[in-house]
Chains A and B, each alone.
Chain A
Amino acid sequence: MNKAVQDYLSKNIIAELGLENVPPKRMEEILLAFGEIIQGRINIRVLDELSETDKDEFDKLLGSETKPETLDAFLKSKIPDLDNLVGQVIADTKQELVEKAKILGA
């Protein structure tokens, strides 16, 4: 994982956007949306990395009562660089949100 990614991973964008004092209820909503954005991006990126055969297998695993740990092991066997990929997605998303917020003066 390169330094730029690590920097963004550890960056506090709540502080950077000046949101420390946002009322908890509204902060909750922002954080939930934020988590969903990340989840959506990870979904796309992870599936991008799988071959069609692997996707089928993954789909079957998801459809059964497979334990998360098993799913995790499956993905890691197919995407050896999974940690970096997830880290990259998170860092990119944080960066983009900050950029966008700043562009719009939010």
Chain B
Amino acid sequence: MEQNPLDPLERFKAISPAEYKAEREGAAKPPAPDLDLGKENAAVETPKTRTPEEEQKLQSQRGGYTSDISRRGEMEKEGKEWRVTDKGFETLVPKAKEEMERDLASRKTEEVVEAEAGKEVLDEELKNAYFEWQDLERKAKKSFADQHDSLWDAALAAKEKYHQLLIEKSGVTEKGKPFYLPEEMAPEGGPQKYNLERLEKVVAMELDLQKEYEKRASTESKEAPGIFKKLWHNYSKIPKSTRIALGVGIATGAFIFTGGAAGLWAVGAYGGAKLARSLVGGFVAGWAYKGLDKFVAPFVDRAAKKNIEKIKQEQAEILNDIRISGVQKELLFAKENMIREYARIARQKQRINIEKALIAGALGVGASFLAEPTYEYLSEKFSGGGAVSPESFGRGVPPAGSEVAGVPPIAGKTAEALADKYSKTISQGGNLWKATRGIAERMGMSNPDFNDAWRDSYVYIPEKEGVFHISEVDLVHPGAKVIYDPDSKIFMVEGERMGTARDLYDALVREGKPIPHRLEEMFGQKPSVVGAAEIPVETSPVRPFDQLPVEAPESPKAPTFTELEAGYPGADAEKFISERLASINVDSDYYEQIKNSKVKDLLKIRKGTFWDLFQHLNDETAGRVDIYSEWKLASLVKAELKNLLPFVEDKTIDEALKIAAQNRNLIK
């Protein structure tokens, strides 16, 4: 570092207290070096006696100093200037030195850290390979016809070498490449995160290499060494949102720069353009990366198009230098919420059955979305009761209000027949508990009566062959009607088979149906069948979504591996697997997409909170992830490959199934 002779700290660093003192004392003449202001020949002023008035005036002028020496005696006045005293030298210099050492040490540490960080990202060999490739490519681009081909060949070879080195350095092998799973399929952090992090490293490394390369190019450019710096300075002045938007526009191909836009980018000054301010700066950035997968979706109907046209007209004037084409042109102007709305409708039409199956099946207790207005669309058809078998959804869902096929009313009552004065329709944001409390208040029902009615209200769910307390199953959704039946003194939900536990028990006995375990315990008859998974009885309608139950896997009606084995005595694993997948309705094309994901990642789908599931169902999955297939596959693996799980957890799904097919004697 270049030393400043006038810098007092540098002076302190260079001289010891003894030397300084000697210098001061030894120089009769000498004006000691003025450490504060660097004036070497300040005149010595002889102290004089002052009147009290003069002292007061001086004190006022000097901010508290009442003489030519500071209060702590560290500074004194010589001539017109202040300087450090012996005492000051003893106290201040060590402090200053210490500070300087600290500063130097921290600077060194930063340099080391920076250097090491650079080393980590930029391997020298890799950097040279990159430079070689870039150099050759630049030459090839500028070459004339006679050497054009040979230069391009060399550039391509250099590129290949660089890529090979990249693979070696990163330790990635072809075999070890992980399969990409979208985030929502691995909510606990799995392959998706892994892949994203790797991509981020790729981008960061590319950027570092780029900058290193530019640094070298800048050094070579003798005539205009600062030109890169100026270009980057221009670029850095572009607002962040615009820079993001530029990235979005280019990465998605949403717009292609022509004319002025290209030139503006070339001079690193895109942010100055009216285009950037008015269009790119906010609109695209705010929208694009949230809904990219909607680009090609045919969700935009007439109403949306009408609005798009209107916005297009408003924006037309500033679009002179941007060319946009096809569907992207329309969607570029579509507001995000509009796209989401139509995505929602499309998904509702196409996938509602699967989603309902997933909800009901995966939760094992059924679902409604009382407090989830965003998902109210599910309620439009959802009336089949909470615990509906996933199998039934795959084959169509009973329409709202209809009875479940083949299940007669058990307690002989349906809520529809009861008087409206005892009913309440659940409002948006409301729930079953509030509705029943509302009815009780309207009727003037006492608390003990209400408690009895609440306690005695049960529902029979034929698909689960079980009886559940009203609080255990979320049967209702906004718009559903809750009714109090004064005869049986219970609450009912319109469309559901309900009664007291005793009513339900008697009806089942009468009809010769299996008696659920709970009813058997309550009324003493030996159960002929064990009902659905037992769920703890709640005394208030707590939503059961806080944590997804990891329930026992379903018992598929499709043949099991063991059953299929009879038909496949040989080792035809491929055929065996394809038959098995077909039997559980897993589409072969979709299986091709996911077969290389790990078994352990597939099993994660069943774990996690309700919100994990919620994410499965959000807009982002529409049309892209077949949750139902993955869920079926997970169930299959959990149930039928149970004995092999320790061996296959780290395998891909496909490998696991093949192992299972070849070792059928070991599987369930």
Contact = CB atoms under 8 A, between A and B. Distances in A.
Given A10-B256, A39-B265, A104 B166 contact: yes
B266 A42 contact: yes
Contacts of B44: none
A38 B250 contact: yes
A32 B247 contact: yes
B409 interface: no
A26 B292 CA distance: 15
A100 B205 CA distance: 11
B538 interface: no
A2 interface: no
Given A56-B223, A59-B227, A100-B206, A47 B217 contact: yes
Contacts of B213: 40, 44
B268 A43 contact: yes
Interface residues of B, number: 78
Contacts of A46: 266
B422 interface: no
Nearest to B214: A40
Interface residues of A, number: 69
Interface string A15-37: 10111111010111111111111
How would you classify the secondary structure of chain B's contact residues: helix, strand, loop or mixed?
helix
Nearest to B137: A92
Nearest to A92: B137
Contacts, number: 223
B326 to A, nearest CB: 8
A38 B266 CA distance: 10
Nearest to B162: A100
How would you classify the secondary structure of chain A's contact residues: helix, strand, loop or mixed?
helix
Contacts of A33: 203-204, 206-207, 247
A12 B292 contact: yes
A2 B634 CA distance: 47
B210 interface: yes
Nearest to A62: B230
Contacts of B328: 10
Given A43-B231, A59-B226, A68-B267, A86 B262 contact: yes
B193 to A, nearest CB: 10
Contacts of B289: 14, 22, 24, 27-28, 31
B210 A63 contact: no
Nearest to B248: A31
A74 to B, nearest CB: 8
A37 B262 contact: no
Nearest to A36: B207
Contact of B250 (A34, A55, A72): A34
A36 B244 CA distance: 10
Interface string B234-264: 1100001001101110111110111110111
B407 interface: no
B272 interface: yes
Contacts of B178: 105
B195 A105 contact: yes
B292 A20 contact: yes
Nearest to A76: B263
Contacts of A63: 226, 230
B273 to A, nearest CB: 7
Nearest to B213: A44
Given A30-B199, A105-B198, A100 B163 contact: yes
Contacts of A20: 182, 292-293, 620
Interface string B280-298: 0000000001101101000
Interface of B: 138, 141-142, 163, 166-167, 170, 172, 176-178, 180, 182-184, 192, 195-196, 198-204, 206-207, 210-211, 213-214, 217, 221, 223-224, 226-228, 230-232, 234-235, 240, 243-244, 246-248, 250-254, 256-260, 262-270, 272-273, 289-290, 292-293, 295, 325, 328, 620
20 contacts: A9-B253, A9-B256, A10-B253, A20-B292, A32-B240, A34-B250, A35-B250, A36-B207, A36-B235, A44-B214, A45-B138, A47-B228, A59-B230, A68-B264, A68-B269, A71-B269, A82-B263, A97-B202, A104-B202, A106-B195
Interface of A: 6, 9-15, 17-22, 24, 26-48, 52, 55-56, 58-59, 62-63, 67-69, 71-73, 75-76, 82-83, 85-87, 90, 94, 96-97, 99-101, 103-106
Given A58-B227, A72-B264, 4 more contacts: A34-B251, A37-B207, A43-B231, A55-B223
